[in-house]
Structure formats: structure tokens, C-alpha cells
Amino acid sequence: MMTNKETKLYKSIDEILWNDWDPIGVNDFGDDARDEYYGYLPQVYQLKINGATKTEIAYYLDLVVTDRMGLSSNMEHCLNIAEKIVSLNN
């Protein structure tokens, strides 16, 4: 079970993935698609709490975009998102 602090961090990462990363643009559809990125959230959370660098998190996000979603790489965007995640307090 997560502590309040861990839950807050997890939810903060979720918000970043939903509002800022959103590689397929589903947040335009509102809450009906709110769970779209939940499958990637645990891995990003683990990377964050294990001290992964901005680059390591960005590579994971870009891998998801290219390998799992079949979209073109956008490493610059992933690095910007990873920067937000790394800068969160845990």
C-alpha cells in the first residue's frame, strides 16, 4: 500500500502523462479516455522513485510511443515531459 506521499507522486505523474505527454491526443476526448495511459504509469513511477535520469525516462516514453503505439519518435517532447517528472518531489 502506498503512503500519502507516494500516492501524491503517482497522481502527479499521471497528470503529466495525461495533460502534457498525451502522444495520441486522447485527453481531447475528456474523461472517457482517462485510463488510456494507466498501463505506462507504474513503469514511469518506478523509474522516478528509483532515481532514473531525465534521459532514461525520456527513452522509456519514446519507446512506448514508437514500439507500442506505432507513432514517430519525438525525443524532444519526451525529454520535456521527463524533465517535469524528474523535477517532482518524491
pLDDT tens-place values along the chain, 90 residues long: 899 999 999 999 999 999 999 999 998 888 888 999 999 999 999 999 999 999 999 999 999 999 999 999 999 999 999 999 999 987
Q: CA–CA separation, 80 vs 3, rounded Å?
A: 28
pLDDT at 30: 82
For 76, the enclosing helix (H) or strand (E) is helix 75-86
| DSSP-derived secondary structure letter, 2 | -
In this prediction the pTM is: 0.94
pLDDT at 28: 87
pLDDT at 41: 97
Owning domain of residue 58:
4-86
Domain count, the chain: 1
